[in-house]
Structure 1
């Protein structure tokens, strides 16, 4: 035995890092764009989606940290990511409750324009992560986040159209609530997947690295 598959592992790790760097960068940029325009447009849906982008960026940062590490570390990272998303979903619901009582005047054209830009950004993210959607647990989590983001963005655009059509702030609030529950559902799926991984024998096994295998060969 000579190669021990190390080059294949390194190629996979490099591929994961490259994808996660792109996802991290895109989500950070869109967080600032959506948050800024969300406050300007007084849009619950845009602000909810921007916070989702921030949570996803955090998740991708955690994912970068565990690339190349043991399965257990990746599962723990996915678990933390899931709880982060869950917390975010609850915070969005708190903010929506505040806005229901305080009031808002969402600007429909800004909501639709920024929502469309976010949708394009997340479709790019989805294409980038597609090859890894059935891979390690932290990459599966990233796939779920990206897929949920596309759904949320479509909802944001719909809310802007309904605000314009009905001349009412309620579609924006309702879509914000829907986005929060989409986030919570995705978080629940990720937490369950991570716990499954941690409970399996594969996750508890100490991984044998290339150095260990080469020592055995000798």
Structure 2
């Protein structure tokens, strides 16, 4: 258990550090997808800190923490949605090369985190699933941002950035739903183990 706690603390630190890099670049170049991804680094920090605190808890408390983590995963989706609406009114293309380089760096950070969290996915219950899914989804998002940057360089349009922002919303919502379902199953199992009635 101590090794798992050290892993999630390391992952939280990596995510928190890269948030500042990506957030600054996203603001400077006006990218919806990069901004959503930077906020996602904060979400990952919160989820992993929650796991760090909850790993020693009883199953019922862990399940409740898993539901909190599912709600946290929705935060970057909401931010991306708001930015997509704002950007749609003036779809200026973001500066491509800073976007691609920053997304590439984010992909490396998230891949390292996903590899660190593979073992946690099997032993951490809904919280482990939350952390692994967040890291895995982030790698996919970073690859998509790089691809979108190349499309933007070709089209000189801000719409690919907006469309990707909407896709980030859908991906995070799907991850949140999966974590919520696993946490619900854990809650039911904890109640059954305690001999409580299951509604």
Partner of 2:86: 98
Aligned: 1:189 with 2:178: yes
| TM-score normalised by length of structure 1 | 0.84
Give the structure 2 partner of residue 198 of structure 1.
187
Asked if the contact 1:72/1:203 (under 8 Å) is kept, the reply is: no
Counterpart in 1 of 2:103?
115
In the alignment, the residues of structure 1 paired with residue 53 and residue 90 of structure 2 have an alpha-carbon distance, to the nearest angstrom, of 41
TM-aligned CA deviation for residue 204 of structure 1: 5.0
State which structure, 1 or 2, has the greater radius of gyration over its C-alpha atoms: 1
Identify the residue that residue 49 of structure 1 maps to in structure 2.
Answer: 37
Contact preservation (8 Å) 2:91, 2:159: no
Matching residue within 118, 126, 129 for 1:130? 118
Please point out which of 9, 15, 29 is paired with 2:3.
15
SS at 1:52 equivalent = helix
Deviation sequence 1:139-158 (CA, Å, 0-9, x none)? 12111111111111111111
Partner SS, residue 149 of structure 1: helix
Unaligned runs of at least 5 residues, structure 1? 1-12, 207-218
- The number of equivalent residue pairs is 194
Quick one: distance in 2 between partners of 1:94 and 1:80?
Answer: 22
| Runs of 5+ unmatched residues, structure 2 | none
Query: Does 1:61 pair with 2:65?
Result: no
- Report the Cα offset of residue 114 of structure 1: 0.2
Matched, 1:148 2:137: yes
Aligned-residue RMSD, C-alpha: 1.6
2:25 corresponds in structure 1 to 37
In the alignment, is the contact (CA less than 8 A) between 1:72 and 1:204 conserved in 2? no
TM-score by length of 2: 0.92
Deviations 1:122-155 (A, max 9, x none): 0100110111222222112111111111111111
Residue number among 165, 168, 171 corresponding to 2:157 in the alignment: 168
